[in-house]
Structures are given as C-alpha cells and as structure tokens.
C-alpha cells in the first residue's frame, strides 16, 4: 500500500516550483509509504509517490513507473491480487517483465487492453493516476468497493489529485472554501460520503469509477466520471436472475470464493497477520488464513476494561483454538490522551466514527510485528449481519400500519418541534422529551426509504445545526424496489461501507504504515452475495447464516454464539472523564463563534446536558469535536 499525489498545469511551463510543490504534497502522506519516495515532472505534469514495499522490495518497484513503451506513467496505491494470473496471460502473448511488482503488470495490461478493459480484469483494492503521453490524457481510477481513496479538484489551470485530502491543500492554487452542505451531511452520519468532500470544489472519485481528463488543447476537458463497475447495477442484475436459493449450494460456492480470496490476499514479501475481534467475520477470515498456513499466523485484538465493550477474552479463546500467535492490548487512559490528538492528522478530513480510536490502536499494535494484516470487514453489509436490520424491519412493520395521512401529519408536526428548532426550550428537555421527538421523527416517515435514513442519522434535521447548510442527496435517498432487508444492505454497501468503514480502516492502518486487506470485498464475493435471497441470508431466522455455517466447521459454536458487540467504545463516559478537558477546549463558545460553523447556543446546551447526564450526546458531540480538531490543523 502506498500513497500518491500530483497535478497537471495546462501551461506547459509551471509558474511555481513543481518539484517543491509535489514534495510538499507528499509530506502529508509520508506515513502511507515510508520505504521510498519518487517524483516525475514533464511538460506541466507532476507525479509523486510514497511507497510501502509489499511485492518486490527491490528498487525495480519504484514509482512513478513508466510502461515498457514509455507511453504511460503511473502512480499506484493498493494491490492487484490477481496480478500473477494476469502476468501469466501477458507472458504467453509475448510480454517481458523486469520486476515482480503488480504495478508493472498494471501498466502492461493497460498497454495491451486499454484502461477500462484492464480495470474490468483487475481483482484488487487500488487507486491510480495514469498519464498517457501520446494522447495527453490523465486517467484517475478507483477500485470497485472504494477500499483505496482518491481525491481530485479541477483548477482553472488544470487539476490536482491525491490519495488524501491533505495532499491537495498543499497546492498553491487549491481552493479551501468549505462546503457547508457537506458538513451538514457529515453531522448526520459522522462522515462525508463520496463524491463530496469538506471543500466545495474538491471531489472524491466514486468507487468503481474512472475519470478521463483531456489536456490536448491547452484547456482542461474533464468528462464526467464513468463507472466500469457499479454495486447498484450488480444488485439490479441479480435481483431476479441467477438466484441461489439452495443454502447448501450457496455454502459450497462461498467456501471456494473465500478460500481463494484469502489465498490471494495472503501473498506478500513481508510479514502478514490478521485482526481478530472475536466476532464472526474476523474469526472466519483468521480461520481460513490459519488453515492455509504452515505455521501460526499473527493475530491482534484490542480490549476494554469495561465488560460491556470487551470482546478480547472471546478473541483469545478463538485464537487458542485456531493456534495463532495472539497479541492483545487493553486500552487505558494514556492511550486515549496520546491517540486522540493524532486523529485529525491521521484522517486529514472530518471523520467521526468513534471506533476510529481502537482501530488506530490495533493497527499500531499489529505494525510492531507485521506489515500486512487481513480483516473481516464487509460481512455485515453483504451477508445481512447488522442487528439494526432486524430492529428496523420490526419497527417499520409497526409504523407502516399507521395510515399514511396520519404519518404525514406527524411528519409535519415533528418538524415544528424538532430538537434543533427548540434551542431556547432546550434546558427543559430531558431524555423523555428528546426520546419523544425522535419517536415522532420515525412515526412521521411516509416510506421505508426515509425510515431507514432516519435510523442511520444522528438527528433528522441535523443540517440546521450548521450555519448556511442545506440537505443534499446521498445513497440513503436512493429509491429502489427491493425487499426491506436488501434495501438496507444495499444502502449501507453503497455509502456506509465505503465512506465510513473503509475510510476508517485505510487511514487508521496507514497512520502506522500498515496495509489492511479485506478478503470479503473481493468483487467475486460481492457479486455472489447479491445472488443470495434474504431467505438464505436469514435461513435460521438470524443474519449472516452463510458466514456462521462456514465458521462452525472451523470453530465450535460455543465460542461464537453470543450477542454481537461490534467495535463500540464507552464514548459517553470518556467525554465526561479522560477526554473532558480536551473536549471542553474544543467546544469553547468563543472559538465556536470565531469559526462560525455551528449553532453556538445549541452546542453549548448539548455539552452542558451531556456533562450533567441529562442526555447522552456523545455521538453528535464527537462529530463536532472531530471537525473542530481537524479545523485547528488547517
């Protein structure tokens, strides 16, 4: 895994020091690739790369890398897991290779088949920027599920791009105007979904997309991003086609797919390990890894002293059963005080999934022994695992029985008594009143789409907390004709998974120069999951039937069957305790007035209520805290 940055100026002679600018951009992502650094500048095009060596540790894997014909130059982040198969196919047709790197294979594929055809052949997690010298075109591309990040901004003079947002801000012509609408969306979900970013004129390339930018006539002509693969299209394709209704057949096919994915993703010329939380997904991936290894693999887990949040003891039992070399670490106050100030630099964009804390800590723990680690992310979204799916399904069954005209009336009423519109009466509002308003929000939903959107939002009209913000469209506003469970899984797979889970994992692990890999997000497994009806996902009345059944063949049920905890943390208590002083400084009314982003009165009252335990506002407060901490670093 690596990181890259670059820009193109339509003036072939760049008015500022291109080498210096690229180096400044790379300085923001040195942690993504501390093993090597390289730049290439020619005719107004500037590429820079930071390398974390995984395959072919020799200088032959250095980037930016040129194709054999010298027509193409690439900077690449990620892994092409099937590069050996592609290499074999290319060698059979006469290609010659100098290195053992997947980057050289990527370039050879593009020379032979072109960009879009090659993207369709790749199995992997990746983002890259490719310059075509012959046609004067820049290509930006991102993997199917969005495991690797890619930001870009069209400038009057060209384009600037990079693996992280901080890279782009180092360009002298970068526009730092904040997007208040995106900030409103951030407060709703705790992250900013693609294609938006915190900056008004900067975008994230969507998963499964590529962007072609033509610079032949001394002007920037950017075609709209095009999808070479679409989760939405895959879901539509298999909604009524090629369904696998037999659980035994589904188990057999999935076993083969996961085994192959784990085998491919275990290829590395550096030490390898796995994250083991004790849950179904991570235990399953670990069990496949261990069964394919001739020696104990390294596994890592994080624990909490509070038993309500601690799964470390379960992870240890599973590690002992599988025979892994297990390492665990229990988070204490010193971890919090040392890690929290680093988060704005690690994420370099507003991000507020509080499990980013233990994720960063477990990544740093793993880096002490390995350079690559596999995780079980994606299982909940693809195989119907979240407990909120069942909870939301049951709630909607009750709400939908209320006549729609009455729900419409409740909806209009709840808007008038919403929490954010009653700041002056806020002191009188306790948990019961707040709970009533949240209930009215649910009862007022006129369709399941808005009902589920409400269930994954901190507050329904939270945008009004951001001065000047308006609601904007996101994946949770998509209308589609699916059964209720499929609707929830699809919405989460298109937004929550790439923009929360995968951002969290990428930045947290890269913060310690560790490569994280996710076998369940192999696109063959993703496509397979969309052929499975809900009746199979929930064959025994519980979610993730297929993953559980595969795991039971490798780990005793008694080690697995327990309530799901997730990677939650005692955030409400921490904000009243170890993190109280840090939070108090960031929520100071004078700094809120100075920044002029949030409603000062509401934030002050919210903080007051949280500290006095009138309400638990930890999730929304964390979003504001992470934003302010990020803003302080700009």
Closest by CA to 49, choosing from 76, 24, 67, 68, is: 76
Cβ(562)–Cβ(314) below 8 Å = yes
* Measured CA angle at 316 (ends 315, 321), to 5 deg: 100
Cβ(516)–Cβ(373) below 8 Å = yes
Cα separation, 135 vs 544, in Å, equals 48
Cα separation, 63 vs 74, in Å, equals 7
Give the SS3 label for residue 367. helix
**Residue 384 designated active-site:** no
380 among annotated binding-site residues? no
302 among annotated binding-site residues? yes
β-strand partners of 9: 158
Cβ(504)–Cβ(359) below 8 Å = yes
Given the residues 2, 109, 384, 445, the one annotated as active site: 2
| 466: CB partners within 8 A, 6+ apart | 180, 183, 184, 187, 597, 598, 599
Q: Give Rg (Cα) of the chain.
A: 24
- Token pair of 75 as six digits: 């900077």
Give the SS3 label for residue 46. strand
Tell me the pairing of strands 158-162 and 151-155. Answer: antiparallel
β-strand partners of 78: 126
Backbone angles phi, psi at 369, to 5 degrees: -125, -25
Cα separation, 176 vs 634, in Å, equals 10
DSSP-assigned letter for residue 501: I
Cα separation, 85 vs 329, in Å, equals 39
Tell me the pairing of strands 325-330 and 298-303. Answer: parallel
| 296: CB partners within 8 A, 6+ apart | 290, 323, 324, 325
Closest by CA to 620, choosing from 505, 461, 476, is: 461
Closest by CA to 550, choosing from 565, 527, 528, is: 528
Cα separation, 578 vs 304, in Å, equals 14
Backbone angles phi, psi at 496, to 5 degrees: -60, -45
CB count within 10 Å of CB 616 equals 17
Give the SS3 label for residue 139. strand
603, burial (CB in 10 Å: exposed 0-12, middle 13-18, buried 19+) = buried
Q: Where are the beta strands (DSSP E) in 27-91?
A: 36-42, 45-51, 65-66, 72-80
Cα separation, 514 vs 360, in Å, equals 10
Cα separation, 565 vs 315, in Å, equals 12
387 among annotated binding-site residues? no
Write down how long the chain is.
634
Backbone angles phi, psi at 113, to 5 degrees: -115, -10
511 among annotated binding-site residues? no
- Token pair of 422 as six digits: 């009653």
Question: Please, what's the b/e burial string for 355-386 (b: 16 or more CB within 10 A of its CB; e: otherwise)?
Answer: bbbbbbbbbbbbbeebbbbbbbbbbbbbbbbb
Cα separation, 418 vs 406, in Å, equals 18
Active site residues: 2
Question: Binding site: which residues?
Answer: 102, 302, 375-376
Question: Binding site for ATP: which residues?
Answer: 302, 375-376
Question: Binding site for L-glutamine: which residues?
Answer: 102
């Amino acid at each position: 895994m690596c990181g890259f940055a670059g820009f193109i100026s339509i003036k072939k002679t760049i008015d500022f020091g291109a080498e210096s600018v690229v180096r400044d951009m790379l300085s923001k992502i040195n942690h993504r690739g501390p093993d090597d650094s390289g730049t290439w500048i020619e005719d107004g095009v500037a590429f820079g790369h930071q390398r974390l060596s995984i395959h072919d540790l020799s200088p032959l894997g250095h980037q930016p890398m040129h194709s054999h014909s010298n027509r193409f130059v690439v900077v690449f982040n990620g892994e092409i897991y099937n590069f050996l198969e592609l290499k074999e196919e290319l060698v059979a047709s006469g290609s010659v290779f100098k290195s053992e790197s997947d980057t050289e294979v990527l370039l050879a594929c593009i020379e032979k088949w072109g960009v879009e055809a090659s993207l369709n052949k790749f199995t992997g997690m990746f983002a890259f920027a490719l310059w075509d010298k012959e046609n004067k075109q820049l290509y930006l591309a991102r993997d199917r599920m969005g495991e690797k990040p890619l930001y870009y901004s069209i400038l009057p003079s060209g384009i600037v791009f990079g693996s992280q947002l901080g890279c782009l801000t180092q360009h002298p012509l970068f526009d730092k105007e904040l997007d208040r609408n995106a900030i409103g969306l951030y407060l709703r979900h705790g992250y900013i979904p693609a294609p938006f970013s915190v900056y008004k004129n900067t975008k994230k390339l969507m998963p499964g997309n590529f962007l072609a930018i033509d610079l032949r006539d001394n002007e920037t002509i950017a075609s709209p991003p095009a999808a070479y693969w679409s989760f939405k299209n895959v879901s539509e394709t298999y909604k009524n086609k090629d369904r696998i209704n037999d659980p035994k057949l589904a188990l057999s096919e999935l076993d083969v797919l996961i085994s192959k994915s784990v085998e491919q993703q275990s290829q590395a010329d550096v030490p390898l390990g796995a994250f083991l939380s004790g849950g179904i997904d991570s235990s399953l991936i670990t069990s496949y890894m261990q069964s394919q290894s001739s020696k104990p693999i390294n596994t890592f887990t994080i624990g909490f002293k509070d038993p309500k949040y601690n799964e470390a003891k379960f992870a240890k039992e599973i590690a002992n059963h599988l025979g892994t070399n297990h390492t665990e670490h229990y988070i204490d106050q010193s971890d919090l005080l040392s890690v929290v100030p680093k988060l704005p630099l690690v994420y370099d964009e507003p991000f507020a999934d509080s499990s980013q804390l233990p994720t960063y800590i477990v990544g740093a723990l793993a880096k002490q022994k390995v350079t690559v680690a596999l995780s079980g992310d994606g299982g909940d979204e693809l195989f119907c695992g979240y407990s909120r799916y069942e909870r939301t399904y049951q709630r909607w069954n009750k709400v939908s029985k209320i006549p729609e005209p009455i729900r419409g009336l409740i909806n209009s009423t709840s808007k008038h008594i919403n929490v954010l519109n009653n700041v002056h009466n806020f002191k009188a509002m306790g948990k019961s009143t707040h709970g009533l308003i949240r209930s009215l929000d649910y009862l007022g939903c006129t369709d399941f789409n808005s009902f589920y959107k409400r269930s994954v939002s901190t507050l329904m009209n939270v945008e009004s907390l951001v001065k000047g913000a308006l609601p904007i469209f996101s994946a949770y506003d998509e209308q589609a004709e699916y059964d209720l469970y499929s609707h929830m899984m699809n919405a989460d797979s298109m937004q929550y998974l790439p923009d929360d889970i995968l951002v969290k994992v990428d930045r947290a692990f890269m913060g310690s120069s560790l490569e994280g890999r996710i076998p369940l997000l192999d696109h063959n497994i993703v496509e397979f999951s969309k052929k499975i009806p809900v009746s199979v996902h929930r064959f025994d009345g519980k979610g993730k039937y297929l993953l559980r059944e595969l795991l039971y063949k490798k780990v005793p049920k008694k080690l697995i069957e327990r309530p799901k905890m997730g990677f939650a943390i005692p955030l409400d208590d921490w904000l009243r305790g170890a993190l109280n002083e840090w939070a108090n400084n960031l929520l100071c009314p004078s700094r809120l007035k100075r920044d002029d982003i949030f409603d000062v009165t509401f934030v002050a009252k919210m903080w007051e209520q949280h500290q006095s335990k009138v309400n638990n506002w930890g999730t929304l407060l964390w979003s504001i805290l992470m934003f302010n901490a990020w803003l302080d670093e700009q």
